[in-house]
């Protein structure tokens, strides 16, 4: 865990304020000191007692409380991060204009730390040219404005405007606390395709051969790329996480489905990342009915090879496309993790290979990872043990630098 940091949690006046209690919990449970600063309208949705009880801090909405402490300056100056959720259309407008008529807006104006906005509003408000301009202004100034999620809004309507899932706001907030410069807007106009999760190869209607990949590393790559301005599509194999906001997700199950979806989408991508754990083999036959014991010895399962998607993507790539593979290695009698990694990069022909050691308690089903990013040109970037979003940010740093190079 990173050392405790100081977070100001600005809460806007939208119904999604009730979900921000969960965000507050996620941040405090990660060991951080969180000061909620609701607007007075936010208190219509969730009252002072809830914010105070969950944070352990007293809460004010205006600048006339504890005046000798000059809170509107003190909060902004001492914060390591400000997260604003829900960021309503009104709050985004005030922040873009530099208004300072309550404690939260004044704090936004005095802060010099990263500011993360998680918008929530009706689709018409999100799409209105005024909001588009305000979001553009905030992003140009270095504010990190997430895209809202698409789905059910207050009432019966549905569309873009739902607040991003609290866990995803927390993911980016924790990333910014670990690395304040992790989310520059350097990927605008870059189209990214990512595979995530682990494939499942059916044996019969109820059983499959699978692996322990949760999809969290692929999700982290998607969230970070989207926050850096990229247009992101994910093909997700058996991932049980909510869609990252602002990301197009296609859900698949088997390696064959992942193969088809990736090859169909790759020609539109500037960068392709194969983060999914793909089954190398599948059962030759899938039984129509559940396999029974019937008191006899089991039949052996005959396996056949799956296509190597990464190798095919490399073979069919278009000029300038950057292709990134992942290699989960344990090391064995034939060589250590890095030896296998270097061999694999050469064999698969990708531009970059992210090599991570896996095994007991490492990489799978946990929020952390560590890796070495190998480049085909021989350079290697060590990424120390940290959040999966930190590894994702390091991958995008290397990819961004490559895209910025003159045509190869
Ligand atoms: O050979 P290995 O499975 O270790 O290689 C890992 C890399 O290759 C990952 O990027 C993985 O997504 C990709 N892969 C693939 N198709 C397969 C097996 C792995 O694209 N059938």
Nearest residue (by CA) to ligand 1, atom 5, is 327
For tokens 């909405």, name the residue.
61
Instruction: Measure the CA–CA gap between 175 and 112, rounded to whole angstroms.
Output: 17
The answer, yes or no, to whether residue 399 has pLDDT greater than 90, is yes
**CA of 326, closest atom in ligand 1:** 10
Global pTM value:
0.95
Instruction: Measure the CA–CA gap between 120 and 160, rounded to whole angstroms.
Output: 9
* Tokens at 348, concatenated: 């698969």
Confidence of residue 63 (pLDDT cuts 50, 70, 90): confident
Given phi > 0 = left and psi -120 to 50 = alpha, else beta, which region is 29?
A: alpha
The tens digit of pLDDT for each residue in 224-242 reads: 999 999 999 999 999 999 9
Residues with a CB atom less than 6 Å from ligand 1? 255, 274, 276, 278, 280, 306, 308-310, 325-327, 344
**CA of 307, closest atom in ligand 1:** 21
Q: What average pLDDT does the segment 253-277 reach?
A: 98
Confidence of residue 153 (pLDDT cuts 50, 70, 90): confident
The residues annotated with a catalytic role in the active site are 211
**CA of 325, closest atom in ligand 1:** 10
* Nearest alpha carbon to residue 387 among 398, 395, 379: 395
Confidence of residue 330 (pLDDT cuts 50, 70, 90): confident
The tens digit of pLDDT for each residue in 182-221 reads: 999 999 999 999 999 999 999 999 999 999 999 999 999 9
Instruction: Measure the CA–CA gap between 228 and 191, rounded to whole angstroms.
Output: 12
Instruction: Measure the CA–CA gap between 156 and 312, rounded to whole angstroms.
Output: 45
The tens digit of pLDDT for each residue in 278-325 reads: 999 999 999 999 998 887 888 899 999 999 999 999 999 999 999 999
Q: What pLDDT does 328 receive?
A: 86
The answer, yes or no, to whether residue 344 has pLDDT greater than 90, is yes
The answer, yes or no, to whether residue 155 has pLDDT greater than 60, is yes
Summary mean pLDDT of the chain: 94
* Tokens at 43, concatenated: 């208190």
The tens digit of pLDDT for each residue in 15-44 reads: 999 999 999 999 999 999 999 999 999 999
The answer, yes or no, to whether residue 139 has pLDDT greater than 70, is yes
Pocket test for ligand 1, best of 310, 327, 354 (most atoms within 8 A of CB): 310
Domains in the chain with CATH codes: 6-178 (3.40.50.1950), 191-404 (3.40.50.10300)
The answer, yes or no, to whether residue 343 has pLDDT greater than 80, is yes
CA of 272 to the centre of ligand 1 (A): 13
Q: What pLDDT does 359 receive?
A: 65
Pocket test for ligand 1, best of 308, 334, 395 (most atoms within 8 A of CB): 308
Instruction: Measure the CA–CA gap between 325 and 296, rounded to whole angstroms.
Output: 43
Pocket test for ligand 1, best of 193, 309, 340 (most atoms within 8 A of CB): 309
Q: What pLDDT does 159 receive?
A: 87
CA of 343 to the centre of ligand 1 (A): 13
Nearest residue (by CA) to ligand 1, atom 19, is 278
Q: What pLDDT does 407 receive?
A: 66
Instruction: Measure the CA–CA gap between 366 and 357, rounded to whole angstroms.
Output: 13
Spatial contact of 220 and 388, defined as CB atoms under 8 Å apart: yes
42-to-10, 13, 162 alpha-carbon distances in Å:
10, 4, 16
Instruction: Measure the CA–CA gap between 275 and 267, rounded to whole angstroms.
Output: 18
* Nearest alpha carbon to residue 278 among 314, 310, 230: 310
């Amino acid at each position: 865990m990173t050392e405790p940091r100081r977070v100001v949690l600005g809460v806007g006046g939208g119904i999604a304020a009730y979900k921000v209690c969960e965000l507050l919990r996620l941040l405090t449970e990660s060991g951080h000191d969180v000061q909620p600063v609701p607007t007075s309208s936010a208190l219509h949705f969730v009252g002072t007692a809830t914010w105070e009880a969950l944070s352990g801090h007293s809460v004010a909405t205006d600048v006339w409380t504890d005046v000798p402490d000059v809170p509107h300056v003190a909060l902004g100056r001492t914060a390591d991060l400000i997260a604003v959720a829900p960021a309503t259309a009104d709050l985004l407008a005030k922040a873009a204009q530099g208004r300072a008529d309550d404690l939260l807006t004044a704090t936004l104006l005095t802060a010099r730390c990263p500011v993360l906005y998680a918008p929530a509003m009706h689709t018409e408000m999100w799409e209105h040219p005024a909001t588009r301009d305000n979001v553009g202004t905030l992003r140009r100034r270095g504010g990190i404005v997430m895209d809202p999620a698409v789905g059910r809004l207050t009432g019966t309507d549905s569309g873009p405007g739902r607040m991003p899932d609290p866990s995803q706001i927390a993911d980016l907030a924790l990333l910014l606390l670990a690395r304040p410069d992790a989310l520059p807007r350097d990927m605008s106009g870059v189209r990214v395709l990512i595979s995530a999760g682990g494939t499942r190869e059916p044996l019969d209607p109820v059983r499959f051969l699978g692996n322990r990949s949760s999809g969290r590393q692929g999700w982290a790559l998607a969230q970070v790329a989207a926050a850096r301005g990229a247009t992101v599509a994910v093909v997700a194999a058996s991932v049980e996480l909510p869609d990252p906001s602002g990301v197009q997700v296609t859900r698949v199950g088997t390696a064959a489905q992942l193969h088809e979806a990736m090859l169909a989408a790759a020609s539109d991508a500037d960068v392709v990342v194969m983060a999914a754990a793909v089954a190398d083999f599948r059962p030759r036959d899938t039984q129509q009915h559940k396999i029974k014991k019937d008191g006899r010895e089991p039949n052996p399962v005959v396996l056949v090879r799956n296509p190597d998607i990464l190798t095919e993507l490399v073979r069919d790539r278009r000029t300038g496309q950057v292709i990134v593979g992942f290699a989960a290695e344990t090391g064995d009698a034939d060589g250590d993790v890095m030896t296998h990694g270097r061999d694999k990069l050469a064999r698969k022909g990708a531009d970059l290979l992210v090599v991570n050691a896996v095994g007991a308690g490492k990489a799978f089903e946990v929020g952390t990872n560590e890796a070495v990013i190998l480049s085909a040109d021989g350079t290697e970037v060590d990424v120390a043990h940290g959040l999966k979003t930190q590894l994702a940010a390091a991958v995008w740093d290397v990819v961004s630098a490559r895209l910025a190079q003159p045509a190869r």
